[in-house]
Structure 1
Amino acid sequence: MKRLLSYLPLYFVVFLILGISFQFFSGIWKFGFLKLFFLIILISFFLLVKRKVLGTLFVFLLFFLIGVSSVYVNEDCYYDNYYQYYITEDTTLFLQIDEVLKPGNFYKKYKAKVIQVDGEVTKGKILLNVLHDSVSKVLKVDDRILLKPQLKKLIPPLNPHQFDYQSYLAKQGIHEQIFTTNNEFLKIDNTQTTLLGLSAKVRTNITETLQKYNFEKNELAVINALLLGQRQDISKALITDYQNAGAIHILAVSGLHVGIILLILNFIFKPLETLKNGKLIKILVILLLLWAFAFIAGLSASVVRAVTMFSFVAVAMSIKRKGIVEFSFITSLFLLLLVKPMFLFNVGFQLSYLAVFGILWIQPKLYSIWQPKNKIVDFFWKLCTVSVAAQVGILPLSIFYFQQFPALFLISNLVIIPFLGVILVGGILVIITSLFEILPQFVADLYGLTISEMNRFVSWVSHQEAFLFKELAISFWMMICCYVTIFLGIFFLLKKTQKQLLYFLFSIVLVQTLFLYERNKVQHKNEFLVFHKSKHSLLGKRVGKKMYVHNQVGNPLVLDEKILKRYQISEHLKSIEVSDFKNIQTFSNQQILIVDSLGIYKVRGLNNPLVILQHSPKISLERLIQSIKPNQIIVDGSNYKTDIVRWKNIAVQHQVPFHYTGEQGAFVLENTL
């Protein structure tokens, strides 16, 4: 650790990350590429300053600006030929399919590049939604289509603590989407094939070949995930089983798979080291095969970062110097973020590097507790320490994102990981022999049976619900404080000085202080909420750690409603109770009038209330506005779209604020005591 802290690229990475985050969230630099380039050159000249402290500050500032510039260069929206600058009312778009996504219930989904707008060459990406139908055209990577679409903004999360798909796509450079049908676009012949398109064709060919060997649906889906990096065909039930068993990383081609393949290749090609320049030949062959695997697995972001990381590790292993693996880990992180800064916001990227961090710096300490002499016992003990170390590295982040912790992750990993190498190698051999049509059916059946047994074992583990800790939630700042505590705890175990102990104890006090602050905030938080739920009305009144939900005739509301469950977990509520709300409420000195399908609003004593319209009441909104002069009109998802459009126009004409939950998200009236 001491050697690592003296490794300069570690500090470069920190300031690179700060620069990337600052530019992405603030977008502060909007002055063009040339000015940014000259600023970086100017800062570089200041590095000639002989004062050490001043020179160090300029180095850190330089890498901060490099982080800013990497985002600026990679974001299409900063270029003059960004497609949005060319959009008109009757625009014709020329799109090229970049990636095939998992289809939804009603639409097939694709990421597409906007290569032309009305004949002008452009940059930018868009989400393409094609309606399912019986004669649906199947689009593939590199396919080009021509269409006259209506561009729509991505929908933000409509309820508190809902997954933010808009933000997720924004971090991939996608800000708009298109909804279309198969007869609304023209497919254009494309003679050009990109590397991604070639990779997709190879995967399609492999999948079609494997289908001839009568693999079951789940078997083929897992083979595609393990070896081809394609998870689109895996059922939700199977994904949930792997998540609950703490083995979801098995289904995504990641550092685990690439690391195992690297160890196998390193063992196979070890005899090459006896030749002249054998080490160089060996490392070149290994790197070539690793990137060949990445190509077959689709060159997705997760595959590219894993192979990049372990390419550095492979070189480091051949050098065999102390600490070189740790240095290669930091260097790969630096180069990946320099080229692809948006990887920083990818959950898989964060989990991968934090897991490796745990393995590199926590596992040695765990392993030193006991060093068994029996090789078999030693192997499984090492596997235990690696699994625990990786889990410690990702624990706060995984709770922050997924709100659960599978306590049986150790059993899953102890059983599956020792055989994962065999499964991977066996799968590669199955693919190669099937392509040459020399794969015996009994071998395919045996491999399919192995995959099925792994699925059954994972399913059994996932159903041990007593060991699955659900409904956990921590805030972003609590997650950061937990990582500070973990880092200082490791530092104390390595150095064991009084100073490091004080730092560690201080971090524990910091976690406790933040916990008490957040608990006090929850206890004193009051809110009135109008959630968004299509075709239904969902109102809630939150008082401290309790929530009361409006129960209405005809509303099939249940207390395990996902919207409410998510809110309860994230806000640390003790209970949610069903209650009957009166049509007139007073909250935080604000009158609230609920106008339902009966359309009753003429009530005495109303003084500029908030009006909630639900179930499309048959009223004249103009009369309502003139009669009770509302402060604001809130419309939820239980109303007809035609009524909502009409009401919005009337509210705009009368200059009354209008809030539709289907566009602006849930309405929240807050009163913190």
Structure 2
Amino acid sequence: MAKRALTGTFRLVGSFIPGILLYHTIGRGFPFAGELAAFFVLLFLALLWLAYKKPLARHRRYAGLAGMLAVTAFSFWASFYKNTPETLPVPAQQITHYQITLVKAVALKPNSVSSVGRVEAVRAQGKWYPAQGQVAVFLPHSPKADSLQYGQRLLVQGSLSPPAAPANPFQFDYRRYLALKHIQWQAYLPTGTWLSIGYAPPSYIVALSLKIRKQLENAFGEHIETKREVTIAHALVLGVQDDLDAALRNAYARTGTMHVLAVSGLHVGLLYGVLLFFLKPLRRGKTSKLLIFLLVVGVVWFYAFVTGMSASVLRSVCMFSLVELGLLLRRRASILNTLAVVALALLIYEPNFLYDVGFQLSFLAVAGIVLLQPLFLKFWNPENRAVRLVWELLAISVAAQLATFPLSLYYFHQFPVYFWVANLVAVPLTSVGLYMGVAFMMFFWVPVVNGWIGFLLEKTLWILNEVLLWLEHWPKAVLDGFVVTPGQVAALYLLIFAAVLFLVHKKLSWLALCVLCLAFVSGTELAEAHRQRRTRELVIHSARRSSVVSVVHGREVTFLADSAFFAQPQLFSYQVQPYWWAKGVRQDIPFATDFPETAFKQPLPFYETLEGNRVVVWQGKRLLWLRKLPRNLERPVTLDAVVLQHNLWFDLPRLQKAFSVRTLVLDQTNSRRYVARKVQELRAAGYRVHVLEEDGAWQIRL
């Protein structure tokens, strides 16, 4: 019976997921999603009636296939319905004001205040129109902005604009990220462009939970002295990572322990475990079992509310709630079956959860622990209790890492080598820290007690941080630069699956499948390496207030940047490095300022004129970075492109007299006002104008 229930549940999930994938790959413009779903539902009902009237095996098979297709069509329609964008009642450029209500927690990040607003009305040509949709808002820090909270209603002066496409090759697609969260617009609200006009939270329960979380954040700050440990306490116990230091975040990521900072199934499981430990002896009569069920489910759901209701927390809370319900009804179900039921329920509620990285990794980690950890324990089950405890912790860590390994390579392009050592330390210390954090949440209002708990929590988190910072500096602590395709991800999962079955059943057919998967991954890597060795590209990157150039020759790069770029080190990780990795570049960054001369195998001819202009000659192409117009030229200089910099003021006749060029590039050392003025003038004169901030990076490929 259990096996049949498991099969049926996974058939539903296996039929539901393809509909979501179909919509996001080829079905966005399909106009008949509802009609298609209705057709397959009616077909299923007709075949089900036929199978009931004439109970033949083929009729049952046809009805089952039609049912699976109906589920797929339904998920396709659900994705279509959920992702249908809202339209404004008037053109966006005519909007002068709009009203929004903040529907997400307000995040106080190091450089800005951010939230998500639900658009309620827009004003154009002196009239107000009702509107719908969501906008991601960012505000500079100020006492007024920092005091904003969920449910605040704002009157904003300005217009709504869609998020920009990725500005550089292989850069993170923030526009798609927002679209998957049903956010259509993005707005930066300088001080003086908005006004708070009321408070009307969409959910008073969520408002209350966020208010409680804010009080707890302040309480942690009052009783933990060091800022570093306060930020870790906020992340570990409350799931708030807004003020997490970049260096510390990097240390957790490079040691494979970032999961302890994102409130997830691990945290809910630890809380559930300690509740069971104390309440299990009280499970005697029906009344006590019902009270324990209500208490356990109430506590874990309250913890989920306080920590922000992320997808991984929702999955864990739903799963543990179903387990508790089974205990109450004296029914035991497979954990995998429960996991599948929860996944199906969450995907019905929000199909886009399938593309949430935390959702994917969370489900895979739990499935890996359930399936693989018992196999590891079968191979070796030491008699010594202390050794067995360490081995069980190590088996859990390896099982979770193995199950998430291909997706981690795909999303994060790195692999932490010492994850098994780090997790042996991090998981026990995280458990102790979480229990202390929960105890602090319960007694933060009690004098003396709150001080002692805060002191012990601070010391625990200090040890955790110091150990991970130490491990981060071990030799080869992280291997990065991996770029894998979806096909390679599928092949790696098939390889893991076949390898496990070979170890269990000892059949050569599974070993042969492993070899085929390895051959596919190796073959595609060799083909990509051959293509990369033939690469010849020059890219002028779009980087804020900077001038940045990558010249790729095979798997080597010449990197030219000005001092403004190196003053913003985070720009390289987000806007340049993904392109390098995609092109197979693994060399160290040649950090030197202001267009340095290079010493690579493929030197880049580079010249600087008396006026401070810079000329680059590459593969027969001549490019000029222009800061000042030259004087006394006998004839126009022929160039392939000119990059205008630093708000260069000129008149067109002088430019045309100095250079014979058709393509002009305006980089981000120019102000927006200058760009807006010059673009119109240059295009009217017949030039091809490329604005890096608006049009993205400019490339030459050979």
**TM-score, normalised via structure 2 length:** 0.85
Structure 2 residue 211 is the aligned partner of structure 1 residue 180 = no
**Contact map agreement 1:87 1:117 (CA 8 A) in 2:** no
Listed as ranges, the matches of 1:322-361 within 5 Å are 324-361=334-371
Q: Distance in 2 between matches of 1:277 and 1:39?
A: 48
1:594 aligned to which of 593, 602, 624: 624
> What are the Cα deviations for residues 163-193 of structure 1, in whole angstroms up to 9, with x where unaligned?
3222222211112112223432221232555
Listed as ranges, the matches of 1:418-567 within 5 Å are 418-437=428-447, 439=449, 441-550=451-560, 562=573, 563-567=575-579
**Contact map agreement 1:142 1:197 (CA 8 A) in 2:** yes
Q: Distance in 1 between matches of 2:290 and 2:143?
A: 55
1:404 Cα deviation from its structure 2 partner: 2.3
3-state SS, counterpart of residue 199 of structure 2: coil
Q: Distance in 1 between matches of 2:678 and 2:22?
A: 40
Q: Distance in 1 between matches of 2:114 and 2:82?
A: 23
1:662 Cα deviation from its structure 2 partner: 1.1
Q: Distance in 2 between matches of 1:54 and 1:303?
A: 38
Report the more deviating stretch, 647-656 or 226-235: 647-656
3-state SS, counterpart of residue 153 of structure 1: coil
Report the more deviating stretch, 333-342 or 214-223: 214-223
**Contact map agreement 1:593 1:612 (CA 8 A) in 2:** yes
Listed as ranges, the matches of 1:85-234 within 5 Å are 87=92, 89-104=94-109, 106-118=111-123, 120-133=129-142, 136=145, 138-190=147-199, 194-234=204-244
3-state SS, counterpart of residue 372 of structure 1: coil
Q: Distance in 2 between matches of 1:102 and 1:622?
A: 51
Report the more deviating stretch, 625-634 or 267-276: 625-634
Distance 1:586 1:190, change over 3 A: closer
1:443 Cα deviation from its structure 2 partner: 3.5
Distance 1:294 1:372, change over 3 A: same
Q: Distance in 2 between matches of 1:53 and 1:606?
A: 73
1:106 Cα deviation from its structure 2 partner: 4.6
AA matched with 1:169: L
Report the more deviating stretch, 126-135 or 259-268: 126-135
Q: Distance in 1 between matches of 2:330 and 2:401?
A: 27
Could you list the runs of 5+ residues in structure 1 that have no partner in the other structure?
none
Distance 1:568 1:368, change over 3 A: same
3-state SS, counterpart of residue 474 of structure 1: coil
Structure 2 residue 579 is the aligned partner of structure 1 residue 580 = no
**Contact map agreement 1:312 1:329 (CA 8 A) in 2:** no
AA matched with 2:79: V
**Contact map agreement 2:6 2:337 (CA 8 A) in 1:** no
**Contact map agreement 1:224 1:230 (CA 8 A) in 2:** yes
AA matched with 1:187: S
> What are the Cα deviations for residues 220-258 of structure 1, in whole angstroms up to 9, with x where unaligned?
322222222211122222222222222111111101111
Distance 1:44 1:659, change over 3 A: farther
AA matched with 1:570: A
1:649 Cα deviation from its structure 2 partner: 1.1
3-state SS, counterpart of residue 92 of structure 1: strand
Distance 1:204 1:596, change over 3 A: same
Q: Distance in 1 between matches of 2:562 and 2:233?
A: 48
1:593 Cα deviation from its structure 2 partner: 4.1
1:624 Cα deviation from its structure 2 partner: 5.7
**Paired residue for 1:670?**
701
1:603 Cα deviation from its structure 2 partner: 6.6
Distance 1:115 1:370, change over 3 A: same
Q: Distance in 2 between matches of 1:605 and 1:147?
A: 50
3-state SS, counterpart of residue 336 of structure 1: helix
Listed as ranges, the matches of 1:346-425 within 5 Å are 346-425=356-435
AA matched with 2:624: I
Q: Distance in 2 between matches of 1:652 and 1:447?
A: 63
AA matched with 2:136: L
1:60 aligned to which of 68, 79, 94: 68
Q: Distance in 2 between matches of 1:614 and 1:140?
A: 41
**Paired residue for 1:73?**
81
Identity %: 25
AA matched with 2:362: S
1:619 Cα deviation from its structure 2 partner: 4.4
Q: Distance in 1 between matches of 2:388 and 2:4?
A: 28
3-state SS, counterpart of residue 177 of structure 1: strand
Structure 2 residue 675 is the aligned partner of structure 1 residue 644 = yes
Distance 1:255 1:529, change over 3 A: same
Could you list the runs of 5+ residues in structure 2 that have no partner in the other structure?
52-57, 591-597, 599-603, 608-614
Report the more deviating stretch, 341-350 or 233-242: 233-242
> What are the Cα deviations for residues 398-448 of structure 1, in whole angstroms up to 9, with x where unaligned?
222222222222222212323433332222222211235572533332232
Q: Distance in 1 between matches of 2:698 and 2:475?
A: 35
Q: Distance in 2 between matches of 1:650 and 1:116?
A: 36
AA matched with 2:669: S
Listed as ranges, the matches of 1:233-252 within 5 Å are 233-252=243-262
**Contact map agreement 1:551 1:557 (CA 8 A) in 2:** no
Distance 1:610 1:425, change over 3 A: same
Q: Distance in 2 between matches of 1:87 and 1:353?
A: 40
1:369 Cα deviation from its structure 2 partner: 1.0
Q: CA RMSD in A?
A: 3.5
**Paired residue for 1:12?**
12
